[in-house]
Amino acid sequence: MGHPMSPRSEGRLPAATDEPGSPVPALRGRDFLTLGEFTPEELAALLDLALAMKRDWQAGRGGQPLYGKTLALIFEKPSTRTRVSFEVGMQQLGGRVLTLTTRDMQLSRGETIADTARVLSRYVDGIMIRAYSHATVEELADAADVPVINGLTDLYHPCQVMADLLTIREHKGGLAGVTVAYVGDGNNVAHSWLLGAAQFGLRLRVACPEGYEPLPEVVARAQTIARQTGAEITVLRDPVEAVAGADVIYTDVWTSMGQEEEADQRRQVFAPYQVNARLAAHAADDYIFMHCLPAHRGEEVTADVIDGPHSVVFDQAENRLHAQKAILAALLG
Ligand code: CP
Ligand code: NVA
């Protein structure tokens, strides 16, 4: 949202809501592009809100704080969880969604991102976008008069990691002192994990093969935040070293969307990084296994681990709904 005092935001009719206003006022009208743009307190407030909203939902309570508001969802890439959880979440908050794919928009015929942002800002109250390039999302956010939410780029997946942190908090009773081992590709999910772990003061060990490490600038940003929060961030090579005594083992696909032509090579490079029973035996006895999904059994994780008693992957998927409802209510409320 580049221009908070745009003409459009003046003179609007107040929305009819059960609970008017943002439940986290400092976040009202802001974008949600990476976990590096917020204070630890703001992110903690979002997680508290997500938990409260989840409890309300489970109890059959919950108002309609976004009654009358509309969220546009723009997809350059496929999605199951992000699409459905944003659509259902917005409906549960009393709002509406428009789901758009870029191939059906004038974007596919050369209309600029900036013009698209300006036009959509005249119709909707917020935009969620899943794009290849992170620069696309930044450009959209700069030109839009409404909050923009990153639903995954090649660099970051912040909504996923908020849901992951909520899941760990539920399964481990809190985040303090938790050790997370991320094993595999230093990709968008790893990048958001670096920033999320830094913000929430976790111990994070990221194990990647040579040439597939997270970007140095993202690691540096995480280290800077970690110095203030007490988080411990390590990037290393050996998956066993990463997993030793860990409370959480996390992995993601070896081949992300857009890298399909590298799949064969990646299967070879990442083979020693498969999360299987032999690797998991090095974790704490009560470790939980996490994966953002979609998963490829037999590649980054074996079926006995992802379908076994330590796996919480479907709790993670559910928590996308609750974490994003909190983000929506805070930004758009
Ligand atoms: N984890 C995740 O973002 O899933 P989708 O690609 O299905 O949205
Ligand atoms: N790293 C994966 C995450 C999918 C949710 C990808 O970008 O395809």
Task: Please report whether residue 147 resides in a domain.
Answer: yes
The tens digit of pLDDT for each residue in 209-238 reads: 999 999 999 999 999 999 999 999 999 999
**Where is pLDDT greater, at 84 or 7?**
84
- Number of domains the chain contains: 2
Query: Is residue 47 one of the residues assigned to a domain?
Result: yes
Residue 12, pLDDT above cutoff 90: no
Radius of gyration of the chain (CA): 20
With the most atoms of ligand 1 within 8 angstroms of its CB, the residue from 74, 82, 251, 320 to mutate is 82
**6 part of a folded domain:** no
CATH number for the domain spanning 116: value is 3.40.50.1370
pLDDT by residue (tens digit) across 304-323?
Answer: 999 999 999 999 999 999 99
130 plus 276 within the same structural domain: no
On whether residue 221 sits in a domain, the answer given is: yes
Residue nearest to atom 2 of ligand 2 (CA): 256
Residues 135 and 175 reside in one and the same domain: no
Pocket of ligand 2 (CB under 6 A): 152, 187-189, 252-253, 256-257, 292
Residues 220 and 267 in one domain: yes
Distance 305 CA to ligand 2 centre (A): 20
16 located within any domain: no
| Domain of 125, in residue numbers | 35-156+318-332
Distances (CA, A) of 75 to 165, 212, 316: 25, 26, 21
Atom of ligand 2 nearest to the CA of 258: 8
- How far does residue 9's CA lie from ligand 1's centre (Å)? 32
Whether residues 289 and 194 share a domain: the answer is yes
State yes or no: pLDDT of 4 exceeds 90. Answer: no
Mean pLDDT (whole number) for 181-199: 98
- Atom of ligand 1 lying closest to residue 78 CA: 6
Residues 235 and 118 in one domain: no
Is residue 320 annotated as a catalytic residue, yes or no?
Answer: yes
Q: What is the pLDDT of residue 10?
A: 39
Regarding whether 184 and 242 lie in a shared domain, the answer is yes
The CA 80 to ligand 1 mean position distance, Å, reads: 5
How far apart are the C-alpha atoms of 107 and 76, rounded to whole Å?
A: 10
Query: 134, 154, 160, 185: which one is catalytic?
Result: 160
Is residue 128 included in any domain, yes or no? yes
- Distance between CA 309 and CA 227 in Å, rounded? 35
Q: What is the pLDDT of residue 92?
A: 97
Check whether residue 217 and residue 241 sit in a common domain. yes
Query: Atom of ligand 2 at shortest distance to CA of 77?
Result: 8
What average pLDDT score do residues 94-118 get?
97
Question: Quick check: is 22 in a domain?
Answer: no
Place of tokens 């857009």: 258
Buried b (16+ CB within 10 A) or exposed e, 268-293: ebbeebbbeeebbebbeeebbbbbbb
- With cut-offs at 50, 70 and 90, classify the pLDDT of residue 2: low
Clarify whether residues 322 and 269 are in a common domain.
no
Distance between CA atoms of residues 287 and 103, nearest Å: 42
Confidence at residue 19, expressed as pLDDT on a 0 to 100 scale: 60
What residues have CB less than 8 Å from 321, skipping those under 6 apart?
85, 88, 89, 92
Say whether both 187 and 264 belong to one domain: yes
Judgement on whether residues 90 and 169 belong to the same structural domain of the protein? no
Same domain, 43 and 66: yes
Residues 221, 322: one domain?
Answer: no
26 is a domain residue = no
